[in-house]
Copies of this chain bind each other. A is one copy, B any other.
Amino acid sequence: MTHVFDEAIAVRRGDDGVFRATTHPAYSNMVGPFGGITAATVVHALTRHPEVLGAPLALTLNYAAPIADGDWELHAEPVRTNRTNQHWVFRIEQNGTTVSTGTAVFGIHRATWGDTEVSPPVVPPADEVAAVDFPEFIAWARNYDKRFVVGGLTGEKSDDSTSTLWIRDHPERPLDYPALTSITDNFYPRVFLRHGTYMPAGTVSLTTYFHATPEDLAAHGTAHLLAVARAARFAGGHYDQDGRVWSMPDDGEPVLLASTHQLVYFKDPQG
């Protein structure tokens, strides 16, 4: 049986080299598709490109215009392939109009010295935290098992925009690059948390750096990921947000799988 996530990120590459995808109702958001599923579909398409080198290292996706429900095209070009990395430019089109732009870097993980300087917050294990549902109109969230340690979507105001949650696909699905990509965009808008209410808000630009090797993903399997995000500054109708996604093995050190950043548009509720 195909997982709904795999249905949603499915792409067909035409003889013209263009990838074609279709929005999936299971991953719709308040307006158009969930940005995470769009990003995941791009990563999925690039990993299937015949000229791809290695695994994703960096992705920037700019949400220039709403994507309408229906078919869309991904025009992607590997503009430069070096010995260990490869630079992509891409755009998403609907009806001849560019609705998203972006770049990606793929590459080879080489054996080098390594260290992780940052730490995940201390949290109770996932099975000791209650799973929560988002409101019905946020369709995409139903495909995730979400367990907030702090910063849930409760309608409470907070002075701190931090959300810390355990998250995984629901139903469970082995972690891969598209799934990880989608989860780097799982954080609902930080202004909702600061104001304790919904307000017009949307990601303008997403940048994710992938540390995870294919071996890290395989080792992670279907377990919950620990995801943390916080805004830095809200000003002039935008804010930026930093996030991290961790694998938390029972019997080993935390593994930082991805760092993720966003610039988000918002409008005051009264504005």
Assembly CA distance A174 to B114 (angstroms): 40
Whether a CB of chain B sits under 8 angstroms from the CB of A95 is no
Q: Is the CB of A236 within 8 A of B207?
A: no
- Contact with A117, one of B64, B98, B111, B230 (Cβ below 8 angstroms): B230
Taking a contact as CB atoms under 8 Å apart, the answer to whether B57 and A263 are in contact is: yes
Q: In the complex, which residues of chain B have a beta carbon less than 8 angstroms from the beta carbon of A204?
A: 57-58, 85, 105
Which of A16-24, A178-186, A238-246 lies at the binding interface? A238-246
Q: Given A98-B79, A98-B80, are A236 and B114 neighbors across the interface (CB < 8 Å)?
A: yes
Question: Across the interface, do B87 and A234 meet the contact criterion of CB distance under 8 Å?
Answer: no
Check if A116 is an interface residue, CB within 8 A of chain B.
yes
Whether A28 sits at the interface, judged by CB under 8 Å, is no
B235 and A109: CB pair below 8 A? yes
Contact with B along A91-115 (1 / 0, CB 8 A): 1000000110111010111111111
Shortest Cβ distance from A99 into B: residue: B80
Q: Interface residues of A, CB < 8 Å — how many?
A: 63
Could you say which residues of chain B place their CB within 8 Å of the CB of A85? 204, 265
Is B80 touching A64 in the complex (CB atoms < 8 A)?
yes
CA distance A205 to B85 in the complex (A): 11
Residues in A34-73 with C-beta less than 8 Å from chain B: 57-58, 60, 62, 64-65
The answer to whether B235 touches A114, judged by C-beta atoms less than 8 angstroms apart, is yes
Which of A102, A195, A263 lies at the interface centre, i.e. has the most chain B CB atoms within 10 A of its CB? A263
Interfacial residues, chain A to chain B (CB-CB below 8 A): 57-58, 60, 62, 64-65, 79-80, 82, 84-85, 87, 89, 91, 98-99, 101-103, 105, 107-118, 160-161, 194-195, 204-205, 207, 209, 211, 213, 230-238, 240, 242, 244, 256, 259, 261, 263, 265-268, 271
Q: Sorted from nearest, which 8 A-B pairs have the closest CB atoms?
A: A109-B236, A110-B237, A64-B80, A64-B87, A114-B235, A209-B240, A60-B60, A207-B207
